[in-house]
Amino acid sequence: MTLATLKDVLDQALTRHFAVGGLVCLGWEDMRAYALAAEAEGLPVILQAGPSCRKHTPLPVLGKMFRTLAESVSVPVVAHLDHGYTLEECREALDSGFTSLMFDGSRLPLAENIAQTAQIAEMAHRAGISCEGEIGFVGYSDGETSEGTEPEDAAAFARDSGVDAMAISVGNVHLQQNHEGGLDEARIRAIEAVTDIPLVIHGGSGVPLAQRRALARGSRICKFNIGTELRMAFGTALRAALAQDPERFDRVQILSAVEPQLVTAARAALRTLGPE
């Protein structure tokens, strides 16, 4: 088994100057494609179960799926809860075999966010797994606006929450469908100046590829969450498969036609983050 914790893979990434892909999963077909992509690239991967994934599949089932995939490849695989919003949800993920918990208290006041995140980080560490937290708020392309991470808040959060990795808001946006705009590198450097914790970018699909590559190899950003660009690749491949044979109805046949293109897209995404 190559099951790993978030700390395991991010410590290695920081030392070797690359970032790990936190690939957002929705079901078995895509998470299997991501594991195969990581194996093909020889890179670790973080398989992430976010709210959309958990909407249709219970955490105990997801934990078994992730662990089964970890057994099937030789590269490190992290079973990661993405955007856990309650202590109870995080505890269920821990009990279900996840090796990393991300508690999202970013909508809370700073002191409350630190206190609740610290409680979950302590629970995770007692169990020998990792914890990620978020300071500042990363908005959504079709809804809530972002609130940038203040360096002094980041310093307090990193010092007092006990997390192994810290997600920050530096111009990144969830669900962005293009690579326009870019991250605020001055804010990133200001945060790096006051803390040495591994940093995480949510909404990595919207980061220009050249900047994503440069920051992965030249900053303390050790994890980029990538979901939207892979969902788009899945949708494109699915439409093509259906158009090629409009009479096709069997789910297994359809998804088998989609998987190779999803593996290719995931390999490309991981390659932008890997070491030179």
The residues assigned a catalytic role are: 82
DSSP 180: -
Q: Which residues, listed in sequence order, are joined to residue 221 by a DSSP beta bridge?
A: 199
E strand or H helix that includes residue 79: strand 77-84
DSSP H helices in the chain: 6-16, 28-41, 51-56, 59-72, 87-95, 110-126, 151-161, 185-192, 209-218, 228-244, 251-271
Chain Cα centroid distance, residue 59: 17
In terms of Cβ atoms closer than 10 Å to its own Cβ (0-12, 13-18, 19+), residue 125 is middle
Q: How far apart are CA 206 and CA 208, in angstroms?
A: 6
Q: How far apart are CA 17 and CA 37, in angstroms?
A: 20
Q: How far apart are CA 242 and CA 239, in angstroms?
A: 5
